[in-house]
Amino acid sequence: MTKAKEVRNGCLYYNKQSKRVERAIGRVGRRIFTYCHDTDPSVVKVDNLIKASSKQVTNYLDAPNKGRGSKIRRALKTISSLKIF
């Protein structure tokens, strides 16, 4: 189990619920905004995240990144619109 304060933006974590590696992009209390290739950002309970292993990180980085930039910008816009920071 990972604590919310230990989660770092930009780092990769394995989501036990979705069974895939996701990148942390923001935090709201005990929930973390995450992003994975070709998906919209999602909110995940911190209890479902563990640090990704080196093999999982390599597999994530080798996956195709189609449409990556626009989705990250949209996620950051969503996070900044929450006005909690």
Query: Span 43-49, mean pLDDT?
Result: 91
* Residue 33 dihedral angles phi and psi, to the nearest 5°: -80, 130
How much is the pTM?
A: 0.70
Distance CA 64, CA 21 (A): 14
Greater confidence (79 vs 21) lies with 21
Q: How far is CA 52 from CA 14, 26, 35, 79, 85, in A?
A: 5, 17, 14, 23, 27
pLDDT digits (tens, 9 = 90+) for 19-45: 999 999 988 888 899 988 777 888 999
Which domains are seen in the chain, by residue range? 4-81 (2.30.30)
Query: Is the pLDDT confidence value at 52 over 70?
Result: yes
* pLDDT computed for residue 14 by the predictor: 94
**Does an H or E element contain 60, and which?**
helix 54-62
Query: Is the pLDDT confidence value at 16 over 90?
Result: yes
